[in-house]
Amino acid sequence: MLKNWTVTTQPVRLGTDGVIMRERYLLNKTHANHKYTDDLISIFGCAETSNRIAIVGEQFRLNQHLYNRRGGRPLSSYAMEYCLTLPKGYRPSKEQWHSIVKDCCLALAKLCKLNKSEFTQYRQQIRAVLHQQAQGGNKGSGDHVHLVIGKVVGNRVLKELQQKKATKTIKLAFNQSVLKHIGVDHRTYDPIEKEKGRRLSTWQYQHQKATEALEIEKLLKKMQTQFDKWLKAKEARDDRQLKRQKNRLLKTYEELKAKSTSPAQIENINKIKNEII
C-alpha cells in the first residue's frame, strides 16, 4: 500500500533563464534523462505559456526595483514545478491526464484563494507535459507529468505554491483524481518490488556475501564429488552411472552459473563441464 501517489515539487530557479531551460527540457527527446521515454506530449499550454510566465515574472521584478523602497531580495523564481508520477503498469490516456492535471490545478488555485481576475491569469500560466515511459525493465520511472505553474499573478507572488501545504494539497488532489478518472486507488496498490532501492547496512551486506560464498563452496565440493563418481563410472564402463552423474553435474553447473563465482572458479567449472560433454 502507498501513502500517496508520487508528487515531487521544486521551484523553477534562475528567473527567465530557468523557465526557458525547463521548457526546452520538457520536450527534448534527446536529453539523457529521456533515454527510457517513449513519448513527450503537451497537456496544457505551449512554449508561449512559458514565455508568458517569464515576462510576468520580469515585470514583477522590475516593479520591485522601481517601487519597493524597503529593499528586500528581488524575485528569482517565477514558477513552481510539480511532477506527478504513476508506477509502471499504468498508462492513462492524454485526456485522462488532462482531467487529472486540471483537478490538481484547481485544488492549488483554491489554496491560494484567487479572485476572479487572478484566476484568469493563473489559468494562462499553466504548462504541463506528459512523459510516457517505457513500461518494461527495471530502469526508468513510470508515466509522469511535469506541471509548471507561474507564481506571479496580478500584483502578488503566490507564496502558497512553494509551501508544504501546497505539496499536501496537490498529493491529495492527485490521489482523488486518479481514483476518479482511472479507477485506481493508491491505498490498494501493492508495489511489485517493495525492496527496490533499499540500501543494506554494512553487516547485512557482509552477511549476504558470506552466505553466498558458503553456498558456492558447497556447490563446488558437490560438483567435484559428482565428477569423481563420473570418472569412476567411465573407467568401469558403467553407462547407467555415467549418465546419472552427468545429469547431476549439469544440474549443479546451472546452479553455479547463477552465482557470483570468481574467474578462477568459472575456469575450473568449465573444465569439468567440457570434460563430460
> Residues near 248 by Cβ (< 8 Å), separated by ≥ 6?
226
Could you give the 3-state DSSP secondary structure of residue 141? coil
CA 177 – CA 99 distance, rounded (Å): 8
Report the amino acid identity of residue 126.
Answer: I
Element (H, E) at 130: strand 126-133
**Nearest by Cα to 40 from 54, 30, 48, 49:** 30
Question: For 33-90, where are the alpha helices, taking DSSP H only?
Answer: 47-67
Hey, which residues does 152 pair with through a beta bridge? Answer: 157
What's the pLDDT band for 271 if we cut at 50, 70, 90?
confident
CB of 104 closer than 8 Å to CB of 122: no
CA–CA separation, 202 and 198 (whole Å): 13
Residue with cell 501513502: 3
Give the model's pLDDT for residue 204. 59
Query: For the segment 153-201, what is each residue's pLDDT rounded down to a tens digit?
Result: 999 999 999 999 999 999 999 999 999 999 999 888 876 544 444 455 5
Question: What is d(CA 51, CA 29) in angstroms, rounded to the nearest whole number?
Answer: 21
What the block records as the C-alpha cell of 238 is 558403467
pLDDT at residue 192, as a whole number: 54
Are 88 and 142 in contact, with CB atoms under 8 Å apart? yes
Q: What letter would DSSP give residue 196?
A: T
**Predicted local distance difference test score (pLDDT) of residue 114:** 97
The continuous run of DSSP H or E covering 79 comes out as: strand 79-85
What is the per-residue pLDDT for 74?
Answer: 87
Report the distance separating Cα 213 and Cα 75, nearest Å.
59
